Chains A and B, each alone.
Chain A
């Protein structure tokens, strides 16, 4: 059974710091991995999608990497801003099965001005 872990559960940093968010998964046979952002009480916004054949994806200040063999992904946020404050969720889709996502518990990020 696929399990996704995100550590730490929460992080508070001053504005301007470069951040690394970690995600690990137990079954390396994934189809893809996706990072989401969730604002309090809201739905999910997709940030980056990495296919199993890819090593990284970039969008603006965000960069996500994937190491399938070790079961790890990182989300790098450059020059963090207060508007980046949200919960960040990592989710994977396992190969050969249904298309459902398996989520980590998320990491609550607070960027202080």
Chain B
């Protein structure tokens, strides 16, 4: 199955600033997925990123707050913009592995102060 390198692993940020999270996959994949996991909660899909087109956002998530780039088939970034303490979460990227199921990055633990 694919191996995903995600960074940073954690960060503490000031409110009002932005953080960009990167995910690098060791193979070419059509779709990459970005999830948020708020404290004590399960994972919620933010958006699906396809190479060469705009990301598709889930209800409750907007591009201005969570802009996504997908410049090629092995890389994607998620930016958390104009952060507030409510954005403190673990953010994870994921790819589908067909018969092997889904693989996740190691996560980015974000704390906004």
Question: Which residues of chain A have a CB within 8 Å of any CB of chain B?
Answer: 32, 34, 36, 41-46, 49, 51, 89, 91, 98-101, 103-106
Contact = CB atoms under 8 A, between A and B. Distances in A.
What is the predominant secondary structure among interface residues of chain A facing chain B? Answer: strand
Contacts of A51: 99
Contacts of B90: 41, 43
A77 B99 CA distance: 23
Contacts, number: 58
Interface residues of B, number: 26
A36 to B, nearest CB: 8
B101 A103 contact: no
B109 A41 contact: yes
A103 B99 CA distance: 19
A43 B42 contact: no
Given A43-B6, A100-B33, A49 B100 contact: yes
